[in-house]
Homo-oligomer: A and B are copies of this chain.
Amino acid sequence: MKYDLTKKSTKGAQRTLRAFSDAMYKLLAEKSYDDISINEICKISNFPRATFYNYFEDKKDLLNYCWLLFKEESNIEQYHDVADEDLQEYVLGQIFEAMDQHRELLTQLAKHNANNSSIVSSIYEYFKNEAITILKQHLKNQTSKVPLELVAEHYSNTILLVLKWIFIENHPLSKREAMEYVDELLGK
């Protein structure tokens, strides 16, 4: 991301960011990610390409920004202390909510893009990293031969695997059922 999201941004910048991400969302609902060109995004959003490159490194960079909005827009309850044994449930719940509130977009994505296209792995990786970040902080007191990082990534893999099954591969399950799947896969 070329644009600095931490500093407070001007109205113009807000408008521009919004225009580009809206255009991306619109195109994602219409066609496969690979078939979307930056030229097209610019045409729809009525900004010149130079402006696009003022804000984003490339198409993937914009996509990542879209996932950020995606997460922020689903006003997930803020994190509050969770008992360690509820940790996986908490993380799964948070991402489940975010995806649940964007079911339509995800359905369209699944429709236009093959299952292992770069866009599916893009969303997968984005939320996996979210999960890893939370899990790593709270698994510190575990005693296991396997390194903490591996455990955190493994839990995250498992959670995202089930969420992909539900929201991308379109097997509707409740949050509770999702949790049961995760528990069983983790041998609990």
A residues apposed to B, CB below 8 Å: 116, 118, 121, 125, 144-147, 150-151, 153-154, 157-158, 161-162, 165, 171, 180-181, 184-188
Question: A118-B118, A121-B121 in contact; A151/B185 too (CB < 8 A)?
Answer: yes
A and B contact pairs by CB, cutoff 8 A, 9 listed: A144-B184, A145-B180, A147-B171, A150-B161, A151-B185, A154-B157, A154-B185, A157-B158, A187-B188
Complex CA distance for A158 and B146, rounded to whole angstroms: 12
Q: A145-B181, A150-B162, A154-B185 are in contact. List 5 more A-B contacts (CB 8 A).
A: A144-B184, A146-B184, A157-B157, A157-B158, A186-B187
- Closest Cβ of chain B to A14, distance in Å, is 29
Copies of this chain per assembly: 2
CB-CB nearest in chain B for A185: B154
Minimum CB–CB distance for A154 against chain B, Å: 5
In the bound complex, CA of A181 to CA of B118 (Å): 29
The interface centre, meaning the residue of A125, A154, A181 with most chain B CB atoms within 10 A of its CB, is A154
Interchain nearest-CB distance for A181 vs B (Å): 5
Taking a contact as CB atoms closer than 8 A, the residue among B116, B158, B185 that contacts A125 in the complex is B116
> Which chain B residues border A154 with CB–CB below 8 Å?
157-158, 161, 185
* Max chain B Cβ within 10 angstroms of own Cβ: one of A147, A158, A180: A158
Residue of B nearest to A144 (CB): B184
| B181 contacts A150, C-beta separation under 8 Å | yes
B residues near A125, Cβ cutoff 8 Å:
116
Contact pick for A153, options B144, B153, B161, CB 8 Å: B161
Query: Which residue of B121, B144, B146, B161 contacts A157 across the interface (Cβ within 8 Å)?
Result: B161
